[in-house]
Amino acid sequence: MTPLRAIKGMNDVLPDQVGRWQRVERLYARVMSLHGFRELRTPLLEPTPLFVRAMGEATDVVEKEMYAFEHHGDALALRPEGTAGAVRAYIEHSVSQREPIVRWWYAGPMFRAERPQRGRYRQFSQLGAEVFGDEGPGCDAEIIDMLVGFLRELQVPGVEVVVNSLGGAEARARYRAALVEYLTPKASSLSAESQRRLTTNPLRILDSKDDADRAAAQGAPTLIDVLDAGDREHLAKLREALDALGTPYSIDPHLVRGLDYYTRTLFEIRGAHDKLGAGSTLVGGGRYDTLVKDLGGPAVPAIGFAAGLERLLIASDLEGPSSVVDALVAPLGAKAVAAGLQVARDLRGKGIRCEVDTRGTSLKSQLRRANALGARIVLILGDAEIAAGAVQVKDLAAHSQETIQRDQAIRVVVDRLIAAGRTVDSPVKASATDYTAPTTPEEDTP
RNA sequence: GUGGCCGUAGCUCAGCUGGUAGAGCACUGGAUUGUGGCUCCAGGUGUCGCGGGUUCGAACCCCGUCGGUCACCCCA
């Protein structure tokens, strides 16, 4: 019998790692909140045609990477990206009728049936956002600057922003024609892949990694040359705003992205090249001023981006939390366990994370466990303490220990933890029916 | 999806031209009948990814397969 295992490219995240995930997610939620974005949650499963129409028939994602299937006659697909669902929800709920500008963020798993690699998985998570109803370049600049700030908070080294403009649909069509005209005479020198692309998706030849392709593309006309006046002004204003913000970026006229819906501003943010190798794109985004209309909604301009959470985690130097609990209750002997459970319940009522070691093992092994859990305080309850109505409060970091009366012990522990920098919730009642889970001392919610 | 490399204890790896397996770390216990992180001592049968083949004999060679990884395609 073959052992049960997770699907290729779909990974478990064990608790040791979840701490880092949560840290990044909370930081993101906070950044979003500070910028007036509100969270959107959409289904993981959508009608396949939504993605086909949003991203384009000829895109690789649609052609070969979607988990698409039929269920009772419906064509369904696991979402390969977040924008299509967000736009669908925006249209479906007539949101444009209620609010002129909408800022939404989302976080969650996406699915693409690609060959896994470091930082690229079949189920992966994206942190994304969309702004509907603001076509100004200032909005583009704000988003880019916000993302750079976010990556800085994540301590991602080597962050660089690359910007390009794809222009509107007309400009792109004009450019496509010019590019094909320029490259066709050189077709024989192109890679086989690019010769095929010449008819299917010529823009992609621009960011080919093949040397011959690069040489051929070297002198090609650039998109920026064929932009119309409005597109040019948009780009110029974006650059002005970025310069004013002091956000470093570079213009790469060869930057092209794989989805058809982009218009005008297109950007990528890369970082941590040494850790991510070829897949160092951390965030990709851009404007999609016609997509809402193309999907049957009103003519509302929009811009969005998505960041790969797994890549951010590889790139980020942030560490996860080191402690699981603040305190460990160490009862010695069977009689002490019941008393220990009471002490623990009282601690939790004050927002102290704690665990009771009910194994009945030696004090030594309980202290070892306290160490492993990162507990600062150990409350020792043996026969002598119970007889005296007391408890030993041991501070592992301070190497101190004192005998405290039971009714004073909770206050002493709280004081010690607060003195050590732990923030503790305001007291709540701790009973079986009125119990509030202690929040972790982790940061981040504003 | 295409190609290269890799796959030995929980982790990182060693294992000489094929003679059937080891280290460090981690973990558990003890030294200290109730006191951790340091130190010392003790504790390992693990489908050598899986299946098949060659051989007297395979962790080591061959084929297939699964998984990982890197690059490409593409993308977050």
What's the residue count for chain A?
Answer: 446
- Chain A residues 177 to 236 whose Cβ lies within 7 Å of strand B are 193, 197, 201, 204, 207-210
CA of A328 to C1' of B43 (A): 28
Based on the fold, state whether residues A306 and A347 are members of the same structural domain: no
Torsion of CA A382, A385, A391, A396, to 10 degrees: -50
Give the residue with minimal CA–C1' separation from B50.
Answer: A2
Q: Pick the more confident residue, A170 or A377.
A: A377
CA of A309 to C1' of B69 (A): 20
Torsion of CA A74, A75, A80, A86, to 10 degrees: -60
Radius of gyration, alpha carbons of chain A: 28
Q: Pick the more confident residue, A219 or A161.
A: A161
d(CA A160, CA A111) in angstroms, rounded, equals 26
The average pLDDT across A359-365 equals 87
The average pLDDT across A265-294 equals 91
Based on the fold, state whether residues A297 and A364 are members of the same structural domain: no
d(CA A13, CA A19) in angstroms, rounded, equals 10
- Judge if ipTM > 0.90: no
Strand B contacted by A375 CB (< 7 A): no
Based on the fold, state whether residues A272 and A420 are members of the same structural domain: no
* pLDDT of A175: 86
CATH number at residue A375: 3.40.50.800
* pLDDT of A438: 40
A315-353 pLDDT tens trace = 998 888 888 999 999 999 878 999 999 999 999 999 999
A73-94 pLDDT tens trace = 999 999 999 999 999 999 999 9
Based on the fold, state whether residues A264 and A339 are members of the same structural domain: no
Is A207 part of a structural domain of the chain?
A: no
The full DSSP string for A291-325 is HHHHTTS----EEEEEEEHHHHHHH--PPPP--S-
Closest among A248, A290, A299 to A269, alpha carbons compared: A248
DSSP three-state, residue A101: coil
Is A209 part of a structural domain of the chain?
A: no
The full DSSP string for A367-385 is HHHHHHHT-SEEEEE-HHH
Based on the fold, state whether residues A337 and A311 are members of the same structural domain: no
CA of A3 to C1' of B74 (A): 32
CA of A366 to C1' of B26 (A): 18
Task: Protein contacts on strand B: list nucleotides below 7 Å from a Cβ.
Answer: 1-3, 27-30, 32-37, 47, 66-76
Closest nt to A282 (CA→C1')? B76
Decide which of A292, A315, A338 is a domain's last residue.
Answer: A315
Domain tally for chain A?
2
The average pLDDT across A10-32 equals 92
* pLDDT of A224: 79
Question: Given CA atoms A221, A227, A229, A235 in this order, what sign does their dihedral have?
Answer: negative
Is A191 part of a structural domain of the chain?
A: no
Strand B contacted by A284 CB (< 7 A): yes
A391-432 pLDDT tens trace = 999 999 999 999 999 999 999 999 999 988 877 654 444 333
CA of A2 to C1' of B22 (A): 29
Is A188 part of a structural domain of the chain?
A: no
Strand B contacted by A420 CB (< 7 A): no
Burial class (CB in 10 A: 0-12, 13-18, 19+), A288: buried
Among A85-94, A112-121, A210-219, whose mean pLDDT is lowest? A210-219
d(CA A189, CA A206) in angstroms, rounded, equals 14
DSSP three-state, residue A94: coil
Decide which of A289, A315, A341 is a domain's last residue.
Answer: A315
Question: Which residues have a Cβ under 8 Å from the Cβ of A176 and sit 6 or more positions away?
Answer: A202, A203
* pLDDT of A3: 60
DSSP three-state, residue A162: strand
The average pLDDT across A120-148 equals 97
Question: Which residues have a Cβ under 8 Å from the Cβ of A413 and sit 6 or more positions away?
Answer: A327, A347, A352, A377, A379, A393
Decide which of A315, A338, A361 is a domain's last residue.
Answer: A315
* pLDDT of A2: 52
CATH number at residue A63: 3.30.930.10
Q: Could you list the residue range(s) of the whole structural domain that residue A132 is in?
A: 15-168+228-315
Residue with tokens 């603001």: A134
Residue A189 to residues A186, A206, A210, A221, A255, Cα–Cα distance (Å): 6, 14, 11, 18, 22
Closest nt to A276 (CA→C1')? B70
Based on the fold, state whether residues A338 and A299 are members of the same structural domain: no
* pLDDT of A217: 79
Using DSSP bridges, classify how beta strands A281-287 and A74-78 pair: parallel, antiparallel or unpaired: unpaired
Based on the fold, state whether residues A394 and A279 are members of the same structural domain: no
